[in-house]
Amino acid sequence: MDDRIGKRFLQASVGFGGSCFQKDILNLVYLCETYGLHECAEYWNQVIVMNDYQKKRFSEKMVAKMFNTVTGKKIAILGYAFKKDTGDVRETPSMFVVRDLFAEGAEIHVYDPQVSREDMWYEMAYTCGISPDKDPKLDQNVITSESALAACEGSHSIAVLTEWDEFKTLDYEKIYASMAKPAFIFDGRNILDHDKLRDIGFEVHAIGKPDPNTFDDL
């Protein structure tokens, strides 16, 4: 069995990215349609539909939990590549979250140790059809930071979108002290210690985890 099927590869996240997986699924859709297997084609197409829904749901949840508006609020995006240990931004879920938050009027500060600003714009223009040339506000409201601490300083919320190991060991007490309050963390990869973060004072929301505003025994 392919060792990517299992805990090494299949993990909770804001959505899958990269050029290969989506392309392979769409190839399955095409083959099924070609052979008249319409129900099978729709089954596989729903994987793409659900992945798009997962990304949209994440950004919508951020807005909803932050009192239904992020206009003018600073949001730190930790991670832009579609997975750690690469600078590959093709079809990265972070791009769609950034697009949605930008549309909501947020001031977005992105930190990724291997992704350049130029690569961000290139993929966003190619996949989403938006660029600083078409919308000058994009260049003003989406800022690339040199460090995670710089991205988080003064922010209203943090969204962890790539599972970089360095995000697990950041000084979150220092980060919390520098943030606007209430301070939110949205863990799109489930890599952080949520109990410890709540003890510090963060309001933490994570993929597949109960809403802390609904359950008081987390």
pLDDT beyond 50 at 25: yes
User: What is the percent of the chain with per-residue pLDDT over 90, rounded to a whole number?
Assistant: 84
Q: Is the pLDDT of residue 185 over 60?
A: yes
Is 20 annotated in the active site? yes
1/118 Cα distance (integer angstroms): 38
Over residues 106-151, the pLDDT tens digits come to 999 999 999 999 999 999 999 999 999 999 899 999 999 999 999 9
Helices (H) and strands (E) in the chain, counts: 8, 6
| Nearest Cα residue to 200 out of 192, 209, 208 | 192
Range name among 73-77, 185-189, 204-208 with the lowest pLDDT average? 204-208
Taken in order 7, 8, 14, 19, the sign of the CA dihedral is: negative
Q: Is the pLDDT of residue 213 over 80?
A: no
CA distances 184 to 75, 168, 181, 211, Å, are: 9, 16, 8, 13
Q: What pLDDT is recorded for position 218?
A: 45
pLDDT at 21: 84
* pLDDT reported for residue 6: 67
Residue-level pLDDT at 12 = 77
Q: What's the rounded mean pLDDT across residues 175-196?
A: 97
> 61-94 burial string, b = 16+ CB within 10 Å, else e?
ebbebbeeebeebbbbbbbbbbbbeeebbbbbbb
CA angle 67, 71, 72 (to 5 degrees): 120
Catalytic residue among 20, 32, 40, 128: 20
- Name the pLDDT band for 2 (thresholds 50, 70, 90): low
The one-letter amino acid at 179:
M
The pLDDT, as a whole number, for residue 4 is 63
pLDDT band of 215, cuts 50, 70, 90: low
Q: Which of 91, 78, 95 is nearest to 165 (CA)?
A: 78
Q: What pLDDT does residue 188 have? A: 96
The pLDDT score that the predictor gives to residue 44 is 95
Give 193's pLDDT tier (boundaries 50, 70, 90): very high
